[in-house]
Structure 1
Amino acid sequence: MQFQDKTMVITGAAGIFGSWIAAYFAKEGARLCLSDIRMDTLEKVAADLDLDPKTTLLHATELTSDDSMLELVDLVRREWQAPDILVNNAGIYTRFSLLDMALSDWDRVFGVNLRAPFVLSREMAKLMIADGRKGSIINISSGASRKMNQNSVPYCTSKTAVERLSKGFAMELAHHGIRVNVVEPGFAPGSEVSALSEEYVANMLKNIPLGRASGPEDAPGAIAYLCSEQAGFITGAVLSVDGGNSIGNYKRPEAAPAKAG
């Protein structure tokens, strides 16, 4: 268990990727602070994973509220002094035409997807520095950072920005021994927030070169590597874990017809 007793904060922990990350690192011995907007969903994740309440922190965080984010930071400071790992996983994916999108929706997308990672990375890094920890920060992005999708321009733009922000933090925190990297998970149907039709899922899978959706150990395994000693010389990197989906347009070859006789 390579992360035995390491302390780890995960935002968006009740979502599909957040719960996968929590499950992976719990098995690796980490002590978890799970953050999401609703306490009941966090309690369900903790119960489903059979997490020890004595070593698990839960915080209902509104990521567009400075006060709420600072409450999360203060909880971590009081209980652990500092985290060893921060994963800014929470994100909002919306589908709006730019001409029709309300300013409040634009602000919420950028508040959760960009401003919150900035605030939490800054404040958690301050805790790491004060406690002398050479920690890791992982920001969760998307292949959409490089490929504009119609009606999801705010999401794509925010993910491009968070990758640039990550490189900026990597530069400024390097002399403290804190590494900052980005993971771009692949397509993972099953979100309760954004339900997808069977037809949509089937079409998406056709466009993935490796031919399958992201699984529960794909992105978490990449995060674990980037937070491990084996990646001690890696900072400011962006790692795509998407089966090749973000490489470019892909058309799966048709199966060859069966030979007669």
Structure 2
Amino acid sequence: MFDDIKGKRALVTGACGVIGKWIAETLHEAGATLALTDAKGDELEAFAGALGLGGDSFVKTADLTDEASIRALTDEIGRRWGAADILVNNAGIYPSAFLLDTPTEEFDRIFSINLRAPFILSRELATQMVRKGIKGSIINISSGASRKMRRTATVYSTSKTALDRLTKGFAVELAEYGIRSNALEPGFAAGSTVSNLSEAHIRNTVAQIPLGRASSRTDVGNALLYLASDASSYVTGATLTVDGGNSAGTLAVHQDKKSAL
């Protein structure tokens, strides 16, 4: 179904996180050539080894709070590939703190990784795509938090709202070059945040999801392949929500009654 992914070159940021690994594994299995980046160099090398990356694929440790580090990454892509076909801005952080307890430097760090880095990466890689005449795909990993504030996560939510607007801005401005920009909202996946979630919290969260389960690699992977492939050639500026209905409405934790049907 997504045969056109084979041979395409894709950059995935935050490749050592749960969602990042799912995305990298999916693209690798579909035959894409990968550039994987993360701040965790040793873990990145180990993951690439487990995947069995070869050929023109490579890994590069990068600090997404540092523009020089980001440019070193995009410059290497230019040297190795000329340009990427797919950019997946997956890296993100989700610190939990009340606004009154959030230092300015923490606010800046969240926006630097969640918004500023995707802007720089999209700008630089799209410029390479334009020069090479590549009709590429930019996919930003967003969150349902972009539309619904979360207590102790206001800065994160705000950064994702801004990322959604940035996604649409790139979609409008890159359309003339045939480059598409979309957002993907994965559903709840335990372990995908910096917080350690208790088993009780995970059970309670899953119990409120209409489809009754957490997100899986297949859920995220299929949605990612759709947005990266020619199957979505007329889709840009959109947000694809793959969350089991969680953003449509959550179920009550205590359900004593079922439908009469």
- Superposition TM-score, scaled by structure 2 size: 0.95
Do 2:93 and 2:194's aligned partners in 1 also have CA atoms closer than 8 Å?
Answer: no
Aligned equivalents of 2:192 and 2:172: distance in 1?
Answer: 34
CA shift at 1:256, angstroms? 6.3
Aligned equivalents of 2:207 and 2:134: distance in 1?
Answer: 44
Identify the residue that residue 234 of structure 2 maps to in structure 1. Answer: 233
Match among 49, 52, 67 for residue 51 of structure 2: 49
Identify the residue that residue 161 of structure 1 maps to in structure 2. Answer: 162
**SS of residue paired to 2:124:** helix
Do 2:95 and 2:194's aligned partners in 1 also have CA atoms closer than 8 Å?
Answer: no
Q: Report the count of equivalent residues.
A: 256
Counterpart amino acid of 2:244? Answer: G
Identify the residue that residue 211 of structure 1 maps to in structure 2. Answer: 212
Counterpart amino acid of 2:22? Answer: W
Cα distance change, pair 249–213 in 1 and its aligned pair in 2 (3 A): closer
CA shift at 1:193, angstroms? 3.7
CA shift at 1:254, angstroms? 3.3
CA shift at 1:11, angstroms? 0.3
Counterpart amino acid of 1:244? Answer: G
Aligned equivalents of 2:193 and 2:120: distance in 1?
Answer: 27
Counterpart amino acid of 1:172? Answer: E
Identify the residue that residue 13 of structure 2 maps to in structure 1. Answer: 11
Do 1:89 and 1:139's aligned partners in 2 also have CA atoms closer than 8 Å?
Answer: yes
Deviation sequence 1:1-60 (CA, Å, 0-9, x none): 4311100000001110001000001010000000101211111111221222x3221111
Identify the residue that residue 23 of structure 2 maps to in structure 1. Answer: 21
**SS of residue paired to 2:52:** coil
Aligned equivalents of 1:242 and 1:191: distance in 2?
Answer: 14
Identify the residue that residue 148 of structure 2 maps to in structure 1. Answer: 147
Deviation sequence 1:50-101 (CA, Å, 0-9, x none): 222x322111111110100000000100000000000000000011111111
**SS of residue paired to 2:217:** coil
**SS of residue paired to 2:35:** strand
Do 1:2 and 1:29's aligned partners in 2 also have CA atoms closer than 8 Å?
Answer: no
Counterpart amino acid of 1:49? Answer: L
**SS of residue paired to 1:245:** coil
Unaligned runs of 5+ in 1: none
Q: Percent identity?
A: 50
CA shift at 1:253, angstroms? 7.2
**SS of residue paired to 1:2:** helix
Deviates more, 1:82-91 or 1:33-42: 33-42
Counterpart amino acid of 2:82? Answer: Q
Cα distance change, pair 47–193 in 1 and its aligned pair in 2 (3 A): farther
Identify the residue that residue 196 of structure 2 maps to in structure 1. Answer: 195
Unaligned runs of 5+ in 2: none
Matches within 5 A, 1:1-261: 1-52=3-54, 54-191=55-192, 193-251=194-252, 254=255
CA shift at 1:252, angstroms? 6.0
Deviation sequence 1:167-192 (CA, Å, 0-9, x none): 00000000000000000001001348
Aligned equivalents of 2:23 and 2:110: distance in 1?
Answer: 22
Aligned equivalents of 2:208 and 2:58: distance in 1?
Answer: 39
Aligned equivalents of 1:204 and 1:48: distance in 2?
Answer: 31
CA shift at 1:247, angstroms? 1.3
